[in-house]
Amino acid sequence: MIKWVDATMIGRADGYGSVSDNLWNIFKESGLPIERLQPHIDQSIEKMHIANLGIGYTRILPSNQDGIVINHCTPNEFINFKNYSVGMTYWETNLFPIDWIDNCNRMDEIWTTSKAMKHVFINSGITKPVYNFELGVDPKIYFPQKRTPHNQFTFLSLGSPATRKNSQLSVNAFLKVFGDNNNYELIYKSNGPQDARIYKNGIMHPLEHPRIKVINHEVTTEELGAIYDKADCLLYPTSGEGWGLIPFQAIAKGIPTICTNALACTEFADMSVPLDFKWGTKNMTGIYQNAGEWAEPNFDDLCDKMLYVVNNYAKVCDKTYQGAEFINQNMTWEHVSQKYIKRIKTILDQAK
């Protein structure tokens, strides 16, 4: 029996909170001898997740049991089983934290979710085999649609209150380019109190503006899909992603998406509108300190790309729609999970 030790944020509609549910739904129908174990995540741990990666911090099994374990959590919580141990984790900079490397090298193999992160892991000193997989989309919600702009052209920002997603940059760009134009609005979706503010003459003010609509409560998966559909363009000037489900899902819907073309996002950003960046260490705090560099998206390029999307909407939509069709034909959860299942079957065969 395989134990899938799952310490992700349970019930979150966006980001990595939805990964385990989607993979598990395929695994349990596959006939694999696998059991899912989930911790109870209390409010204090939930807050820690939001501040950091969004994957687990709660050990729920002792090490050294018989069998095979797949740890889907941060490496500081990896446990070893006697037969075989897998660590599945993500990262968002160009250098893996040195404190986690030994934890990874105690596994038999490591899984991550992009080619870029596989290279980061290996270059950082992980010596055990590293396998890269992909994340997918739910085709019932994220399917291609031909887009025409709303009467009031609508930008969408997702990612707050994780400051590394740089939603403040999206607010600043919207106000600079379209702040005096009533034909444009910004929907600002945050999981909890928003981290962006409005700055006037160097003074910080609350995020209150007649054409910025703030949504800061939890939503269901279906409600999140409906929020995407209100948008004509997603703004996602992130500093780093282990995969980047938020922009990936937008592209899968055919929504023009301005996304930093760095790290994991290089696997799909150019399906729509890739955003320029430079490497740097600005705002790298907490678990991101002493972890190399991450992307610093170019503010001027963000402003230019927003105007480009507005002025060339049909052209950008056509390009994004092609990306959406590719994703829905090749990268649904049903499709991407087959690579995981194939690897699990190989591990089972080797463990006999």
* Predicted local distance difference test score (pLDDT) of residue 254: 98
Nearest to 18 by CA among 191, 264, 200, 205: 191
**Better-scored residue on pLDDT, 11 or 269:** 269
Lowest mean pLDDT among 19-23, 43-47, 201-205, 301-305: 43-47
The partner residues of 259 in beta bridges, in order of sequence, read 236, 274
* pLDDT for 336 beyond 70: yes
Vertex 169 angle, CA 315 and 207, to 5°: 115
* pLDDT for 6 beyond 90: no
Does 3.40.50.970 match the CATH number of domain 153-330? no
Percent of the chain with pLDDT over 70: 90
Query: CATH 3.40.50.2000: which residues of the chain?
Result: 2-136+332-351, 153-330
Give the 3-state secondary structure of 125-177: CCCCCEEECCCCECCCCCCCCCCCCCCCEEEEEEEECCHHHCHHHHHHHHHHH
Q: What is the Cβ-side half-sphere exposure of residue 164, based on CA atoms within 13 angstroms?
A: 24
Q: Which residues neighbour 188 within 8 Å (Cβ) at sequence distance 6 or greater? A: 157, 160, 167, 170, 171, 194, 196, 207, 212, 213, 214, 215
pTM (2 d.p.): 0.93
Mean pLDDT (whole number) for 147-175: 96
* CATH for 2-136+332-351, options being 3.40.50.300, 3.40.50.2000, 3.90.1300.10, 1.20.140.10: 3.40.50.2000
Mean pLDDT (whole number) for 73-99: 93
Q: pLDDT per residue over 162-206, tens digit each?
A: 899 999 999 999 999 999 999 999 999 998 899 999 998 889 999
Q: How many CB atoms lie within 10 A of CB 62?
A: 9
* Predicted local distance difference test score (pLDDT) of residue 202: 84
Structure tokens at 165: 């997603």
* Predicted local distance difference test score (pLDDT) of residue 57: 46
**Separation of alpha carbons 89 and 72, rounded Å:** 6
**Separation of alpha carbons 120 and 96, rounded Å:** 7
| pLDDT band, very low/low/confident/very high, at 31 (cuts 50, 70, 90) | very high
Q: What is the Cβ-side half-sphere exposure of residue 25, based on CA atoms within 13 angstroms?
A: 12
Own/partner contacts of 118-121, CB < 8 Å, gap of 24 or more, are 120/91, 120/93, 120/94, 120/95, 120/96, 120/263, 121/91, 121/96
